[in-house]
Structure 1
Amino acid sequence: MTPHDLIIFDCDGVLVDSEPASNQCLVDNLARYGLELDLARSMELFVGGTMAGVRDIARDMGANLPEEWLDEIRAETHARLAQGVEAVPGINALLDLADRADLPFCVASNGSPKKMRITLGQTGLWDRFEGAIFSAYELGVSKPDPALFQAAARHFDAQAPVVIEDSRSGVLAARRAGMRCLGYAPHGNGVALAELGAEVFADMRAVPRLLGLSGLTEAAEPA
C-alpha cells in the first residue's frame, strides 16, 4: 500500500528522453554567439533550468546573445524535438500501474505547454496527462521555487505527494515543498541529486518498490 496520494513527474528527462536533443541545440546555438560548450557541460549547467536562466548564465560566461535570443532558441529547440523523441523506458508501464492503483499523477515542468505538447504528443503521453499539466510558463513560478509543485498538490488536494525529478533545481523545489523526491539518474550521475536529499534510482522499474506499489514486474517494458 503506497503512502502517497499523487505522483508529480518532471517532463524532460523523466517522461521523455529529450534532454540530449535540447542541449545539443543549445550547444550549436551558443557556439554561434561565442560560447563553446560540449554536450556534457551544457547538460551540467542547464538541465532543469528555464530558458531565461540559460540566457543569463550564457551571457555571464561570455555569450553575446541578442535581445530576441529567447524566441530564437525556443524555435530551434521545438524544431529539433519535433524530429523525434522517445518516452523514457518503463514510464508507460509505471503509469499503467498507477492507474490500476487509482494513484493520480501529473506533470510539473519548467518547460512551456507548447514544448510539452511536442514531446508528450509524439510519445502518446499527452493524452495521459491532459488536464494534469502544470507549466512554469503559465503559473509564473519555476523550479527551484516550490510553488509549482505546491500548485499541483493543491489541484489534487494531495496531502502526501511524491516527486520524480532528474535535475538539481527540481530536487530543491521538492525538498523546499516538503515533498519526498525520487531522483532519476539512469546514467550513474545521481551524486548531486542525492546530496540534495533525493532518493536516487536508475530504472523506472524500481519505482513501484520505492512507492510501495506492486505488479509492475509482470507489466514492465524491456530495458
Structure 2
Amino acid sequence: MRPSLVIFDCDGVLVDSEPITNRLLREDLAARGLDLTLERIEEIFVGGTMATVFENARALGADLPDDWVDWFYEQMYAELAKGTPLIEGIEEVLDQLDAAGIPYAVGSNGSLRKMSITLGSHPALHARLKDALYSAHALGVAKPDPELYLKPARDAGIAPEACAVVDDSATGCTAGVRAGMRTMGFAEHNDGARLKAVGAEPFHRMADLPGLLGL
C-alpha cells in the first residue's frame, strides 16, 4: 500500500554526512584518550545526539571538557560546510513522490543549523525540504522517542499507520516502529540486521525505495 506521507531521516538518508562526522569524531576522541575504529564509532554513536555521544564517550574514558558538545558542533559544521554529498538516488526518490502526489518531511536528531548546512550544499533539494524540516533540537525530544516522526504526521493531518519512515540507524528505526509507521531501514553499507532486529524492513539501494513503497 502506498503511504500518504514519507518521513526521511537526514544524515545517512538524504545526505552522506556520517562519514565526515565519524572521521572527525574518531580523530578528536583519539586525541582525548579514546581510540576507536570507525566501525566502533558507527556502532556506538550513529543515530544518537551529540549530548549522548558526550555522555557515552566520557563513560568510555574520553577526557572531554564540559563545553565539548558546543565546541565539537562548531568543528563539525565547519567541516560539513566544505561540501556534503547527497545519498545516491535520493533526488529521484523525491521526484517519484512528487509525481505520485505524496508529501514528505524530514525528522532528524540533528539541529536545523546542521540541516541548513548539509542540505544547503544542494540548493534545489533544500528548497524542496526547507518547510518540512523537524529537528530534535527544536522539539526538545530525540529518537528513539517517536515524537520526532509523530509531529510531522500530526501537522500533515495524516494517521501514523498511513505514513512511512526511512531511517538508517537502529535508533531512528526504533522511533519509526514506536510511532506505528511502516519503517524502511536504509542499510547501504551493511546487511541491515541491526535495523531488522528493531522491526524495520531493510533495503540497500535508494533506487529500490520507490518500488518498495508501491510507486
Instruction: Give yes or no for TM over 0.5.
Output: yes
TM-score by length of 2: 0.96
Distance 1:209 1:197 in 2: 20
Deviation of 1:99 (Å)? 0.6
CA distance in 2, matches of 1:3, 1:42: 35
1:85 aligns with 2:87: no
**Local SS of the residue matching 1:7:** strand
Q: Show the 5 A alignment for 1:132-211.
A: 132-159=132-159, 160-211=162-213
Q: Counterparts of 2:141 and 2:191 in 1: how far apart (Å)?
A: 27
Q: Distance in 2 between matches of 1:3 and 1:38?
A: 40
1: distance between equivalents of 2:179 and 2:92?
27
Which one-letter code corresponds to 1:41 in the other structure?
R
Structure 1 residue 3: deviation in Å? 2.9
Q: In structure 1, what is the equivalent of residue 122 of structure 2?
A: 123
CA distance in 2, matches of 1:208, 1:3: 10
CA distance in structure 2 between the aligned counterparts of 1:83 and 1:39, rounded to whole angstroms = 21
The CA RMSD measured in Å over matched residues stands at 0.9
Distance in 1, matches of 2:180 and 2:148, equals 13
1:80, distance to aligned residue in structure 2 (A): 1.0
How many residues are matched? 212
Query: How far apart, CA to CA, are the structure 2 residues paired with 1:123 and 1:188?
Result: 26
> Deviation digits for residues 70-93 of structure 1, max 9, x if unmatched?
111101111111111111010001
AA in 2 matched with 1:183 = G
Q: What is the CA–CA distance in structure 1 between the aligned matches of 2:157 and 2:48, rounded to whole Å?
A: 27
Aligned counterparts of 1:104 and 1:89: Cα–Cα separation in 2 = 20
Letter matched to residue 131 of structure 1: D
1:60-99 alignment runs, 5 A limit: 60-99=59-98
Unaligned runs of 5+ in 1: 214-223
CA distance, structure 1, for counterparts of residue 51 and residue 104 of structure 2: 28
- Partner Cα distance (2:77, 2:16) in 1: 14
More off after superposition, 185-194 vs 57-66: 185-194
Aligned equivalents of 1:130, 1:83: Cα separation in 2: 20
Take 1:68 and 1:187, find their aligned partners in 2: how far apart are those partners? 33
Per-residue Cα deviation, 1:135-180 (whole angstroms, up to 9, x for no partner): 0000000000011111111011112110000001001101111111
CA distance in 2, matches of 1:168, 1:200: 11
Q: C-alpha separation between the residues in 2 aligned to 1:194 and 1:184?
A: 10
The residue identity in structure 2 corresponding to 1:192 is: R
Task: Quote the Cα distance in structure 2 between the aligned partners of 1:97 and 1:9.
Answer: 15
Cα distance in 1, alignment partners of residues 99 and 7 from structure 2: 17
- Offset at 1:43? 1.0
Write the letter of the residue equivalent to 1:90.
Answer: G
